[in-house]
Amino acid sequence: MSKKEALLKAAESKVRIGGYGNFSFRELANEVGIKSASVHYHFPTKADLGAALAHQYTNSFLAALGDPVAIKASGKNPIEVYSQLFRSALITDNKMCLCGLLGAESDSLPEQVRTEVKRFFNQNLAWLCSAHAENGDKNPAQSAIATVSILEGAMMISKSLDDNSYFEQVTQTLK
């Protein structure tokens, strides 16, 4: 793993725990074994790093999701695949969704970062809209918004109350 990748990985963990303000160039540099000034070589400003982080997160999230049409064709429910990805983000990583946290503090974010967060949700909405349409939903756009909302909200509640069973209860509602 390159230093640049290591920086992004360290930053992702910190942001998913405490938001955009929860990481510093110094901390990141210490964790990957370089000096803080060198972080600026890879990412000129903190906003650049934040934007790259959200961009990468969105890409790997979408890649992990796959194609909703293909999922449906293979006999699986794409909505369950979707909620399973949220579940593993919460249970396996024991952390919030990166863009969920950043989205909540959207109004205090540098514009480059906010743009990437918007991209995350727009892509998620498009995916879910397609998925609900495949399931024969009469209002797939509305269902798409309801699905992301309830999953992001359930993550937030589970984190707040430090009990992932809240998330599990909510995902049963989805079935």
Partner DNA sequence: GACAACCTACCTACTGATAGGTAAGTTATA
Partner DNA sequence: TATAACTTACCTATCAGTAGGTAGGTTGTC
Q: Where on the chain is the footprint of a second copy (CB under 8 A)? A: 17-19, 21-22, 95-96, 99-109, 117-118, 120-122, 141-143, 145-146, 148-154, 156-157, 159-162, 166, 169-170, 172-173
- 106: its two tokens: 């959207």
Q: Point out which residues bind DNA (CB under 7 A).
A: 2-4, 23-27, 29, 33-38, 40-42, 44-47
Residues 6+ apart with CB under 8 A from 72: 78, 131, 134, 135
Closer CB to DNA, residue 40 or residue 119?
40
The Cα–Cα gap between 121 and 152 comes to 11
In whole angstroms, the minimum distance from the beta carbon of 150 to a second copy comes to: 5
Which of a second copy, DNA, none binds 2 (CB below 5-8 Å, type-dependent)? DNA
User: In terms of Cα–Cα distance, which of 17, 46, 16, 47 is closest to 29?
Assistant: 46
User: In terms of Cα–Cα distance, which of 68, 83, 76 is closest to 129?
Assistant: 68
In whole angstroms, the minimum distance from the beta carbon of 2 to a second copy comes to: 27
Closer CB to DNA, residue 113 or residue 170?
113
Which of DNA, a second copy, none binds 85 (CB below 5-8 Å, type-dependent)? none
Closer CB to a second copy, residue 28 or residue 42?
28
Number of residues that this document lists for the chain: 175
Closer CB to a second copy, residue 18 or residue 44?
18
Give, to the nearest 10 degrees, the angle between helix 111-134 and helix 78-91.
Answer: 140
Of all residues in the chain, what percent are helix, strand and coil, respectively (each to 5)?
Answer: 80, 0, 20
Which of a second copy, DNA, none binds 31 (CB below 5-8 Å, type-dependent)? none
The Cα–Cα gap between 124 and 130 comes to 10
Which of a second copy, DNA, none binds 101 (CB below 5-8 Å, type-dependent)? a second copy
